[in-house]
Amino acid sequence: LCQFGSFVDSLRLYVRGGAGGMGYPRLGGEGGRGGDVWLVARERATLKGLRQRYPHKRFVAGTGANSSVRALKGDKGQDCEVDVPLGVSVLCEDGEQIGELNAAGERLLAARGGLGGSLATDFVPHKGQRRIVCLDLKLIADVGLVGFPNAGKSSLLSKMSHAKPQVASYPFTTVQPELGKLMYKDYKQVSVADLPGLIEGAHANRGMGHKFLKHVERTKQLLLVVDISGFQLSIKAPFRTAFETVVLLTKELELYKEELLSKPALLAVNKMDLPGARENLCELEQQLQQPHNFFHLLEEEMVPTRTLEFKDVIPVSTYTGEGIEELKACIRRSIDDEAERENEEYRKKQLQLLQPSA
């Protein structure tokens, strides 16, 4: 069981299909099949709620009815349905993935019921399948905020949306993912996930490590947030400029899963109200245009093999509100562009299917 504070994002369940019913050898009667255990994706379900309602985390389906003189074919045992949240991966105990549930109403068979007693089984019923399954939740959001602690991600989320994340002047304020909604005038909504701050070495499961990075996998786009004046995790840790911060964040994402770097990305440069911010921004923009020319400033193991291509670089200040509306507009534009691209690809595929093969 893994938690961010009170936020549960992983849960182990014991599931068992029902046993089959007894057969009736004298009259060739068949016992009913045992019930199945199904996982069903529901909009409002949470892993925390599931754990609270069923602290034993055991789910057993009903036994099949025995065959009798009155009913030679016994009824099937009652199925057991377990409501789970959207965005859950279902894994076996050995870590192999059984399936995923991403849309409301999707169902996954977790444990099959046993066969009833019949001629094929010498009229002896079979036991139901039993196993431990792990539910692994990855937040589904349109945009994932990525940044080191103190970059101002939580403040940015509260400025852009109606979310009320905990905000303070020390690192690691965010210990659990926060989901905010950006509302637009045409009623379009975009969900934004503020995830716990990365630290150097997160890919190796330091700090919140994989717990953070697995949530990034499900977001459609990345919004990197960096402090224009740089970042230092602690007195012992080296000071990082805004450019170095971008490079290090890229490296952490790459080391965890290189495909993350192919997601569309925006860069929000925060704290533009601080002294010297304009000069620092000019320098950062130059460095981002030709990042390879500045990699020699960093230790070799910190340099990513690929760089992130930012669709936009938006200077913002959560303190003064500068750039917030522009950032919201950029996010919307980026989401719409991506949706249009996916539609275009789908249209092309449909056309190819309609073409008679040569």
Domains of the chain: 10-137 (2.70.210.12), 141-343 (3.40.50.300)
Q: Where are the alpha helices (DSSP H) in the chain?
A: 47-53, 153-160, 209-218, 242-256, 277-289, 324-354
CA distance 225 to 327: 11
Per-position pLDDT tens, the chain of length 358: 443 344 567 899 999 999 999 999 999 999 999 999 999 999 888 888 899 999 999 999 999 999 999 999 999 999 999 999 888 889 998 888 899 898 889 999 999 999 999 999 999 999 999 999 999 887 777 898 888 877 788 888 888 876 554 443 333 333 456 677 888 888 788 888 877 656 555 544 444 445 667 777 778 899 999 999 888 766 777 788 999 999 988 988 888 888 888 999 999 999 999 999 999 999 999 999 988 888 888 888 888 888 888 999 999 998 899 999 999 999 999 999 988 888 888 888 888 888 775 4
Nearest to 203 by CA among 216, 219, 187, 188: 216
CA distance 267 to 281: 12
CB of 154 closer than 8 Å to CB of 173: yes
CA distance 207 to 197: 9
CA distance 277 to 323: 14
CA distance 61 to 34: 7
Structure tokens at 225: 């947030």
- When computed from its CA atoms, the radius of gyration of the chain, rounded to whole angstroms, is 26
Residues 6 or more apart from 158 whose CB is under 8 A from it?
164, 165, 167, 180, 318
Residue 216 pLDDT:
79
- Return the residue matching tokens 């849960």: 11
pTM, entire model: 0.68
